[in-house]
Amino acid sequence: MLTTAERRTAIGTGLSAFAALVVFVALAVYALFRPDLPPSQTSFWTPYTMRVLRFTLLQAGLSTLLSIGLAVPVALALARRPRFPGRLWILRLMAVPMGLPALVAALGLITVWGTQGMVNDLLLGFGLDEPVNIYGLGGILLAHVFFNLPLACRLMVASLDRLPGEYWMLAAQLGMKPAVIFLRIEWPALSRILPGIGTLIFMLCATSFTLVLVLGGGPAATTLEVAIYQALRFDFDPARAMTLALLQIGVTAVVLAVLSLLPAAEEASVTTGRRSRRLDGRGTASVIWDAVMICCATLMLLLPLGAIVWAGVRADLTGLLTSTAFRQALATSTMVALSSSIAALLLSVAIIGARLTVRETKTPGKPLLALSAALGTAPLLVLLVPPVVLGTGWFLLLRPLASGSSLTAGLVVSINTLMALPFVIRVLEPAMQEHRRKTGRLTASLGISGWARIWRIDRPALIRPALLALSFAMSLSLGDLGAVALFASNDFVTLPWHLYSRLSSYRTADADGLALLLGALCLVLTLIGTSGYERRGNSHG
Amino acid sequence: MGNILEAPEIRLDAVELTLGATRFRLDCRIPAGAITAVAGPSGAGKSTLLNLIAGFETPTNGRVLFDEKDVTPLHPSERPVSLVFQDNNLFGHLDVFTNVALGVRPSLRRLGPPEREAVSAALVHVGLAGMEHRLPPSLSGGERQRVAFARVLVRRKPVLLMDEPFAALDPGLRLDMASLLSQLHRETGSTVVIVTHDPEELRRLSTHVLFMDRANILLQEPTADFLSHTDMPMVSQFLAG
């Protein structure tokens, strides 16, 4: 219910936002295709690129299998015990890795599983002298499982908790044995969502940069993204970076295409859903098995988190906080995070607004419908071209120009903006849609429009979801190492880069302290950013 | 379908149970081989009564007796009971045949020819001949409840508990299902307990009534007596619909 002028403005703004997005991505991709390099250098299928591609797919495939394979028994155990004390906290704990910067988690994992870590000390104590090696494929898999097992587990528990309570009563009454319950009830429910979860995890692992940079990196354990970074920053071989970037786009395109064909897993009511009564799994063996599964998963998450805190508080925190380097990095990070999250918010509002306006139009006609569909692909476009690839394209474009820190800052802000866009749209779109549905006709009939409508009608209803989205976007940007890695210089250091350079120069105590500060900051922002979901769930429970 | 085991009288003997802040004290006799309606305002504890008989709830005190046999410590699968809920009686991803066959044998082994025949015969009996391979989402609400009845038939249990089995159906269909239920009851002679909100259904089907309010059983009497109990405001309110 908008006036014609308002409709035009809404659609025009959305179109401009989308155009800016497309141009930014397209320019980067265009730079990757530039033919001005000698053909011998741009050959695609060298043994090196093949090895990197194979390792990228191998580690992503193994990470996916391990994460899901280990998550299934944990999810079954958690779903089978809907009301033990601490269950809600374990499920909340499983959301923590989502808000933790990869670099911070890597540090925690090294403290637990590294050469001088707790696990190896324990193994040595038992007389085993083969220490677990955190570097290489093993470490990458460990880190990917740390991030993705909880994700898979939450989605699976949600899907099992959503099964009708009558199923469990019928199963008990019909006298179904555990194997039958698994094959007849639990597995059919899980198998519907497993392809979607698997592809999502594969996507996350195939584009994972920071974890591979810190834990892999050697020639034997390099993924496309890290190889791009090495080609640009160490070997200065733009041709190779281009080839690798194109391969990376190819991989993400295939995975995204598969993902779009699969049903998505919903997480709606994971922590507050109706708790069904489970009558199976009363035997001692079953109770012990489930307890072991749940404890192992919890420990796997808690130990690295605990290690971050434990190592962090032993660092000279006041010294760190007052150091010039830290203050500068904090200022830079805050600037980048604030500008990129506000930009992501504005772009998202423009794009969603245009889509909703088209949807409300009575007879939209083909061009408008096509536009709306195109706007809907914005999040997809961003996922298709990962940050490091975007960065590579722009790196190549801007190479001829003198590099300045304001240019660098602009690029990092833009890339972080794009990274946050899919998440911001996902938080805002349902809220804006609901708001329009509730208030559209009334505001139109009262003739409230323009700034009056934005201030008096939209602001009160949408300020909360907007702040949530902003907080989540800031956390993403604050923890990001990918975009910065390509452009960081002495004049442009963000917190994650500061932390990474401390780690690379073996200032481990400093790194531990920084990891604690950065991790805490990002977690608080993510918690604020996701608090809306649980509150919404509670009002129903 | 033939007669099954002797249908028992069900007795709740000084049963006590606390759920959250609600304390139940239930004491009643449900006559053998009759249809007993459980009525009362929502939240009165009607479903909890069924859960106690089925074994989904265990009393903190008192006993649940089938004739003279104490079934209190028995697991739901060990009690001679079948259940029909208002909804979700069928596993949505399994076809009609498998859903009924689970009542014969809840394992993964395939059924032998006589058992397969019994399943098909039960489907014919409830008016769903030839629907073996349909999936529950493709059936109407009434058809789904008929499949649930077919499973009750193949299970051949002497007690049938129903929690508002027809509440989700429209009135015409409710009438059909009620007559199917009376027909099946005439054939099997089982002890039926049916929770209902519908005074018409209570009149049509039941010979006895348990009237509950706030976790207590207020009345237990033949339906004819209950219908004349209009001096109680709660009863007249219920009968007014």
In A, which residues are within 8 Å of B106 by CB distance? 171, 174-177, 180
Cβ–Cβ below 8 Å for B56 and A169: yes
* B157 DSSP assignment: -
Instruction: Tell whether B160 lies on the interface with A, counting CB pairs under 8 A.
Output: no
Contacts of B78 in chain A (CB under 8 A): 175
Task: Provide the pLDDT for residue B4.
Answer: 55
pLDDT digit string, tens, across residues A35-46? 565 544 556 678
Residue in the structure block whose two tokens are 């796997």? A300
- Report pLDDT for A539: 31
Interface touch A169/B54, C-beta < 8 Å: yes
Q: Within an 8 Å CB–CB cutoff, is residue B20 touching chain A?
A: no
Per CATH, the number for B1-80+159-241 is 3.40.50.300
Q: Which of A333, A347, A521, A528 is nearest to A428 (CA)?
A: A347
Q: What is the pLDDT of residue B95?
A: 93
For residue B133, give the DSSP letter: T
CB-nearest partner of A167 from B82, B91, B106: B91
pLDDT recorded at residue B106: 84
Q: Which of the 8 DSSP states describes residue A492?
A: B
Q: Are B102 and A174 a contacting pair at CB < 8 A? A: yes
Q: Can you read off the two tokens belonging to residue A374?
A: 């195109």
Minimal C-alpha gap between B227 and chain A (Å): 32
Are B88 and A164 a contacting pair at CB < 8 A?
Answer: yes
Question: In this structure, are residues A334 and A475 in contact, taking their beta carbons and an 8 Å threshold?
Answer: no
Average pLDDT, chain A: 86
Per-position DSSP letters for A174-210, written without gaps between them: HT--HHHHIIIIIHHHHHHHHHHHHHHHHHHHHT--H
Average pLDDT in the B198-210 region?
A: 93
Contact A175 B88 (CB under 8 A): no
Backbone phi, then psi, for A291, in 5-degree steps?
A: -60, -45
Q: Please determine, for residue A274, whether its predicted confidence score (pLDDT) is greater than 80.
A: no
Could you give the percent of chain A with pLDDT greater than 90?
41
| Min distance B233 CA to chain A CA atoms (Å) | 33
Q: Which residues of B touch A177 (CB under 8 A)?
A: 106-107
What distance in Å separates the CA atoms of residue A412 and residue A516, rounded to the nearest whole number? Answer: 24
Spatial contact of A74 and A149, defined as CB atoms under 8 Å apart: yes
Share of chain B above pLDDT 70, in %: 98
Residues of chain A with Cβ-Cβ distance to B107 below 8 Å are 176-177, 180
| pTM score above 0.90 | no
Three-state SS string over A431-453 comes to HHHHHHHHHHHHHHHHCCCHHHH
Percent of chain A whose predicted confidence (pLDDT) is above 70: 91
Confidence of residue A271 (pLDDT cuts 50, 70, 90): very low
Within 8 A of A185 by CB-CB distance, chain B residues are 91
| Other CB atoms within 10 A of residue B14 CB | 11
Instruction: Tell me the pLDDT band of A538, cut-offs 50, 70 and 90.
Output: very low
Query: Cα(B175)–Cα(A37) distance, rounded to whole angstroms?
Result: 81
> What pLDDT, in 10s, does the model give residues A348-363?
999 999 998 888 877 7
| pLDDT band per the 50, 70, 90 thresholds, residue A317 | confident
Structure tokens at B95: 């076809």
Which of A107, A28, A15, A451 lies closest to A308, judged by CA? A107
According to the model, what pLDDT value does residue A280 have?
A: 85
pLDDT at B52: 94
Residue A177 to residue B81, Cβ atoms within 8 A: no
Is B150 in CB contact (< 8 Å) with chain A? Answer: no
**pLDDT mean over B194-211:** 93
pLDDT (tens digit per residue) in B46-90: 999 999 999 999 999 999 999 989 999 999 989 999 999 998 899
Q: Taking the domains of chain B in order of start, what are their residue ranges?
A: 1-80+159-241, 91-156
Of A347, A271, A316, A485, nearest to A20 (Cα)?
A347
ipTM above 0.90, yes or no: no
pLDDT at residue number B127: 92
Q: What is the nearest CA distance from B88 to chain A, expressed in angstroms?
A: 6
> What separation in angstroms does the CA of A103 have from each of A58, A184, A206, A357, A511?
22, 42, 17, 41, 10
Over residues A425-471, the pLDDT tens digits come to: 988 888 898 888 888 888 877 878 778 888 888 888 888 889 888 99
Tell me the nearest-neighbour CA distance from B174 into chain A, angstroms. 21
Question: Does position A130 have pLDDT exceeding 70, yes or no?
Answer: no
Q: Is B17 helix (H, G, I), strand (E, B) or coil?
A: strand
Counting every residue written for chain B, the total comes to: 241
Over 50: is that where the pLDDT of A6 sits? yes
Q: How many residues does chain A have?
A: 541
Check A179 against B76: CB less than 8 A apart.
no
Q: Provide the mean pLDDT of chain B.
A: 91
Asked if the model's pLDDT at residue A125 lies above 80, the reply is no
CA distance linking residue A411 with residue A427, whole number of Å? 25
Give the per-residue pLDDT at A265: 64
Tell me which long-range contacts B14-17 makes (C-beta under 8 A, separation of at least 24): B14/B61, B14/B62, B14/B63, B15/B52, B15/B59, B15/B61, B15/B62, B15/B63, B15/B64, B16/B59, B16/B60, B16/B61, B16/B62, B17/B48, B17/B52, B17/B57, B17/B58, B17/B59, B17/B60
For residue A366, the model assigns a pLDDT of 84
Torsion sign across C-alpha atoms B53, B58, B60, B62: positive
Does residue B157 contact residue B4 with C-beta atoms inside 8 Å? yes
Between A30-44, A135-149, B28-42, the lowest mean confidence (pLDDT) is in A30-44
Residue among A159, A162, A166 with most chain B CBs within 10 A, to mutate = A166
Instruction: From chain A, pick out residues whose CB is under 8 angstroms from the CB of B54.
Output: 169, 173
Q: What is the pLDDT averaged over residues A294-312?
A: 94
Q: Which of A32-46, A496-510, B221-235 has the lowest mean pLDDT?
A: A32-46
Taking only the tens place, the pLDDT of each residue in A477-500 is: 999 998 888 888 878 899 999 999
CB atoms B76 and A279 under 8 Å: yes
Spatial contact of A11 and A371, defined as CB atoms under 8 Å apart: yes
